[in-house]
Amino acid sequence: MASSFTLFVFIAAVVLNSGADAQLNRNFYGATCPKLERIVRGAMTNAVNRDGRMGASILRMFFHDCFVNGCDASVLLDDTATFIGEKGAPPNRNSLRGFEVIDFIKSQVEASCPRTVSCADILALAARDGVQLLGGPRWEVPLGRRDSRTASQSATSSIASPFSDLPGLISNFAAKGFSAREMVVLSGAHTIGFAQCRVFRTRIYNETNIDPRFASQRRGNCPSSGGDSNLAPLDATTATSFDKNYYSNLVARRGLLHSDQQLFNGGSTDSIVRYYSGNDAAFKKDFGAAMVKMGNLSPLTGTAGEIRRNCHFVN
C-alpha cells in the first residue's frame, strides 16, 4: 500500500511553547541510530498489512499525545502510584489502540541502538509512516524529542471532542497555535480510521444536516441503544485510503461525526472544505506541513525528560 505521492517538507523545526535548550533536527540520530527510520518503516509496513486500521490508530495516538502537554509520549505511560495516566481518560478509554505496535518498534530499536531513541520520536515516525502506507504524504520528521516522566489525565480535556461545534474546534486548535485552515486540514486525518457508535449515534438519529440515505446506512450498525462499540468508517467512500474523499463526504452531508460536519455547515470553514474536496494534492501537501508543526508542540529536548527503556514506564 505504499504511496507514490511523496512530500518532503523542509522547514526549520521551531519548538513551540517550550523552554527547551535545543531544537529538533531531522538528522538527530544520523550517527547514533542510523537504521532507525528503516526499522520503524518495516514494522509499520507489517502492522498495516496485518491490520488496515493500524495506520489510523497510530496517527490518532500521536494526535492525542501531542495535544496533551506536547509530543512527549505521555500517552503511552501506564498508571503508577504517583500519577494517573492518560489511557483511561474519556477521549482514550477503550478506543486508543496500537500500543503493542509501538512496543514492538521500541524493542527493535533498543536492540539496534540501546537507550538512544525516545518513545516520542518512535511515535512521531510511526504516525508518518502509517499515513504514507495508506496513500498519504511523506513528510520529514524532525527528531530529538525526549520522553516525559509523568502524564496528566486531566489535561486530556485539551483534545477536541467529537461533539464540538465549529467555534469550539477553532478555539481548541488555536490554543495550540493552529489557524482555522490548519484545523480543517488536520481534521482530514479522518479520511482513514473508524469511530464507535457511541460517538456518532446522536448525529445519525437526531441531526438534520445529514444525508438521509447515509444516516439510514449507519443506523444499520448503530442501534438507538446498545452496540456502543460497533464501528463505522469515518470516510465511508475510501475507508483505508488517505485521500480527499473525507472533504467530499462533508460537502455531501455525509460526515460521520458531529464535529466533522461542523466544518461544512454554513460556517467560516465551508470554503476550505470545498477547496480540499477538489484538490487532493493540496490536501496532502498542507497535511504534511501541519503534521510537522504539530510534531513541534512543546517537545522535551536537551536534558529535559528522559529516554525511556520501556515506553509504558518511566526509568
| Active centre residues (catalytic) | 64
- At 34, list the grid cell: 542510523
Grid coordinates representing 15 are 519548538
Cα-based torsion angle of the residue sequence 165, 72, 194, 105 in order, rounded to the nearest 10 degrees: 170
Listed in sequence order, the DSSP H helices in 134-269 are 166-174, 180-187, 197-206, 212-219, 245-251, 258-261
- 270 within 8 A of 264, measured Cβ to Cβ: yes
- Provide the residue type at 278 as one letter: G
- The C-alpha atoms of residue 308 and residue 110 are separated, in whole angstroms, by 10
**CA-to-CA distance for 200 and 241, rounded, in angstroms?**
21
Residue type, 122: I
Handedness of CA 158, 24, 308, 35 (dihedral sign): positive
Question: What's the CA gap between 11 and 285, in Å, rounded?
Answer: 13
C-alpha distances out from residue 48 to 1, 75, 122, 123, 245, Å: 9, 21, 16, 15, 20
d(CA 16, CA 178): 11
